[in-house]
Amino acid sequence: MKYADEFRDPKAARALLDRIAVVVDQIGATAERPVSIMEICGGHTHAIFRYGLDKLTPPGIEFIHGPGCPVCVLPMSRVDECVELAEQPGVIFTTFGDAMRVPGTRKSLLQAKADGADIRMVYSPLDALEIARRNPDRQVVFFGLGFETTTPSTALSIQQAAAEGLENFSVFCNHITVPPPIRALLDDPHMTLDGFVGPGHVSMVIGVHPYDFIAETYGKPLVVAGFEPLDLLQSVLMVLEQIRDGRAEIENQYARVVPEHGNPVSLAAIADVYEERPSFEWRGLGEIDASGLRIRGRYAAFDAEEKFGIGYGAGPRAVAEPEGCACGAVMTGRMKPVECPNFGTGCTPEMPLGALMVSSEGACAAYYQYGGARAATAAE
């Protein structure tokens, strides 16, 4: 596959790993006193485990798995609202497959489907639009989930629906943005991060400048990274070199896909359709100011929250987190997945308690699935 296979070359990987080991030594980092690098994006977490990069890099590097998995940070109350929407008579609820197994307080979407709700998995919001065109007598709701990468797709779909006058289509907007939770993490007094691997696909939409504050205000390096193993290793090396040299800059390893200023069409569509919410709830992190988007008044007809009177507009919201769940501590890097008392016992991919065990991008599920869990057990 072009633009993928070239970035999986084992020879170059060995060279990168050797360089990484040298720079880790130069920094003086050890297993006891490691350099902490957060990969913000869940896609990077997944790639690290899928390719076994955590086991190939020297013990002086500790990867902290960031909050960049939209499914993982989705609060239970929003899942409950999805179920409520899906169970409305006449509604066809469309969603990415990722969201199907996330537990709500009552049930997951998968369970709601079994109970009779018309819930359909789609690959694209465009497919939800097509379902709306083919079912004019039904209300088709699309579960708009994801960071800046995915936001343009639903914005453009809403614009398309408006252009066609497709009145039976609406979006349940749960789009969130990357910079605010990073700022929240950096403001945390317990924070011990030394640098960041930045989300490549978010950045192809927003560009690299929204991260400037990380270097300027907080003095931490960030390297925007691609998703192939060589991309990741090269980015880790770039972060380490900055740390060694005492630099704090925003660098772009993924320039083949990420333009400095992002994608103008995407940004215009987002600005046209969405506006900031005053705050939005993140599972494990709580309410974060200006971290979520809602649909602007001019597109209210396509806003499922408005159309069905559900969600933030509907009154005070109870924050429901399962008891004993340490997702918040894991997500802020204060706890390793295996250190959670529920890991692998009260919380497994079969019966997830917390969100980090649900998505394959969640740090806990990745640990469990790709060996962190059993490797840890075997080592004991």
Partner 1 sequence: MCLGIPGQIVEITDAPRMMAMAEVSGVRREVNVACIAQGPLAGLIGKWALIHVGFAMSEIDEDEAAKTLEALRGLGEAQETLEAMAAGDAALEGRS
Partner 2 sequence: MNAMTPPMRDTRVTLSHGGGGKAMRELIDSVFTAVFEPDGTEDQARLMDAALQVPGARLAFTTDGFVVDPVEFPGGDIGKIAVCGTVNDLAVGGARPLWLSAAFIIEEGTEIALLRRVVASMRAEADKAGVRIVTGDTKVVGRGMADTLFVTTSGVGVIPPDRHLAADRVRPGDLVLVNGMLGDHGAAILAARGDMALSAPIRSDCAGLGHLMEAVLAAAPGMRASRDATRGGVASVLNEVAEAAGVGIEIDETALPLRPEVKGTCEILGLDPLYLANEGTLALFVPADQADAALAAMRARPEGQAATVIGQVIEGPAGRVSMRTLFGGARIVDMLVGEQLPRIC
The whole-angstrom separation of Cα 203 and Cα 205 is: 5
**Binder among 29, 40, 43, 174 for partner 2 (CB under 8 A):** 43
Q: Verify binding: residue 349, partner 1, rule CB under 8 A.
A: no
Q: Is 87 exposed, middle or buried (0-12, 13-18, 19+ CB in 10 A)?
A: middle
Residues 256-295 close enough to bind partner 1 by CB under 8 A:
256-259, 263, 265-266, 269
Cα 67 to its chain centre, rounded Å, is 6
Question: What character string, x for contact with partner 2 (CB under 8 A) and - otherwise, covers 92-131?
Answer: ----xxx-xx------------------xxxxx--x----
Size of the site for partner 2 (CB under 8 A): 45
Residues 126-145 close enough to bind partner 2 by CB under 8 A:
127
The whole-angstrom separation of Cα 130 and Cα 115 is: 25
Q: Could you say which of partner 1, partner 2, none residue 8 binds, taking C-beta under 5 to 8 angstroms by partner kind?
A: partner 2
Is there a contact between 167 and 301 (Cβ–Cβ < 8 Å)? Answer: yes
Is there a contact between 38 and 66 (Cβ–Cβ < 8 Å)? Answer: yes
Is there a contact between 280 and 292 (Cβ–Cβ < 8 Å)? Answer: yes
Q: Could you say which of partner 2, partner 1, none residue 53 binds, taking C-beta under 5 to 8 angstroms by partner kind?
A: partner 2
Give least dist CB 267 to partner 1, A.
10
Q: Which is nearer to partner 1, 10 or 246 (CB)?
A: 10
How does 150-185 read in b/e, with b if 16+ C-beta sit within 10 Å? bbbbbbbbbeebbeeebebbbbbbbbbbbbbbbbbb
Q: Which is nearer to partner 1, 103 or 262 (CB)?
A: 262
Q: 23: which 2 tokens?
A: 């720079």
Residues 16-45 close enough to bind partner 1 by CB under 8 A:
16, 18-19, 41-43
Q: Verify binding: residue 235, partner 1, rule CB under 8 A.
A: no
Residues 66-85 close enough to bind partner 1 by CB under 8 A:
68-70
Whole-angstrom CA distances from 71 to 52, 176, 300, 377 are 23, 11, 25, 27
Q: Which is nearer to partner 1, 126 or 335 (CB)?
A: 126
Q: Is 188 exposed, middle or buried (0-12, 13-18, 19+ CB in 10 A)?
A: middle
**Closest to 359 in 3D by CA, of 86, 124, 147, 73:** 73
SS3 for 276?
strand
Q: Which is nearer to partner 2, 131 or 215 (CB)?
A: 131
Q: Could you say which of partner 1, partner 2, none residue 349 binds, taking C-beta under 5 to 8 angstroms by partner kind?
A: partner 2
Give the other-Cβ count within 10 Å of 217's Cβ: 11
**Binder among 53, 74, 129, 295 for partner 2 (CB under 8 A):** 53
Q: Verify binding: residue 343, partner 2, rule CB under 8 A.
A: no
Is there a contact between 264 and 206 (Cβ–Cβ < 8 Å)? Answer: no
Q: Which chain residues interact with partner 2 by CB under 8 A? A: 1, 4, 8-10, 13-14, 42-43, 49-53, 55-56, 69-71, 96-98, 100-101, 120-124, 127, 146, 150, 229, 349-350, 359-361, 368-371, 374-375, 378
Q: Which chain residues interact with partner 1 by CB under 8 A? A: 1-4, 6-7, 9, 11-12, 14-16, 18-19, 41-43, 68-70, 96, 123-127, 146-147, 149-150, 152-153, 156, 160, 199, 201-202, 204-205, 227, 230-231, 234, 253, 255-259, 263, 265-266, 269, 361
